[in-house]
Structures are given as C-alpha cells and as structure tokens.
Amino acid sequence: MKTTAIAAALLFSLAGAAFAQQVKYEVTLSRDGKVVASPTFNGEIGKPASFEQPQMMKVEVLTEKPDNEGNSPTTVKLQLFEGGKLKAPEESWMLADISSKPATFEYAWPGTNAKFVFKQSLVKGAPKK
C-alpha cells in the first residue's frame, strides 16, 4: 500500500512538472535612445525568474497562471545601475494574454536618460520540465 501511494505521488508530481509553461522575457535598456543591453532569459509560470547584468541592471519577474479570461498577471522589478550602485527597485505589473502574442511595456527611469522595454511571451514547443 505504501509503495502504491508513493508511486502515485511521484506520478502526479511528474505529470504536473510536464505541463510547466515556459515564458521568454526580453529586456532592452537604452540610454539616450541607444541600446546598451538587451538580455533574453526564460522562466516558468508561477516561479520567480531574474537576470542581472553587472554595472548595468537587474530584473526580477514573476508571471502567474492565466485567469479565466487567459490573462497572466506579471510583476516586474527593475533596478538600474547608476552612480556606482544599483538604484532602489521600481516595481510595475501588467495583465496580458501572452498565449498568442507577446506583451510589452516601457518604463522611462525618472531623472535619468534610461528607458526599459520589457517583453514577455509563452515559449511555443519548448521542452517541458
């Protein structure tokens, strides 16, 4: 009986992992209209993901499971390297259906010449974890 319960639990956990949805994040940082960094990284719906480019920027993002209308709430924390250190994070969020097309927002950092463009989309045909 114990073996059956353990096997069932393992099967359900593997099945859940097989359906994990991957999200592609693209961040463009420009200064004075010129792109200075444009990292791309992947994450998983429901799990935090982050990327840091030393002496440039840091991004933390969390995309939640879609609601009944297909919209995925996403929280983004951006940090800009300025004056020898990372500035305090600026947090933003969006609600968008990323299943069929990418969702994008822009953020101009106050008091600087820096502008972030954040884009997210579901990874189609990606191997499931």
85-128 pLDDT, tens digit each:
999 999 999 999 998 889 999 999 999 999 999 999 999 875 55
Question: The domain containing residue 102 runs over which residues?
Answer: 21-122
- Residue 46 in domain: yes
Task: Calculate the dihedral angle through the C-alpha atoms of 53, 54, 55, 59, rounding to the nearest 10 degrees.
Answer: 40
- Residue 12 in domain: no
Q: Give the separation between CA 121 and CA 127, rounded to whole angstroms.
A: 15
3-state helix, strand, coil in the chain (%, to 5): 15, 50, 35
Nearest to 30, CA basis, from 109, 94, 111, 121: 109
Q: What is the pLDDT of residues 5-51, one digit of tens each?
A: 444 444 444 444 455 799 999 999 999 999 999 999 999 999 999 99
Q: Domain count of the chain?
A: 1
- Residue 75 in domain: yes
- Residue 10 in domain: no
Q: Give the separation between CA 83 and CA 33, rounded to whole angstroms.
A: 19
- Residue 38 in domain: yes
Classified as helix, coil or strand, 25 is: strand
Question: What is the average pLDDT across 53-70?
Answer: 93
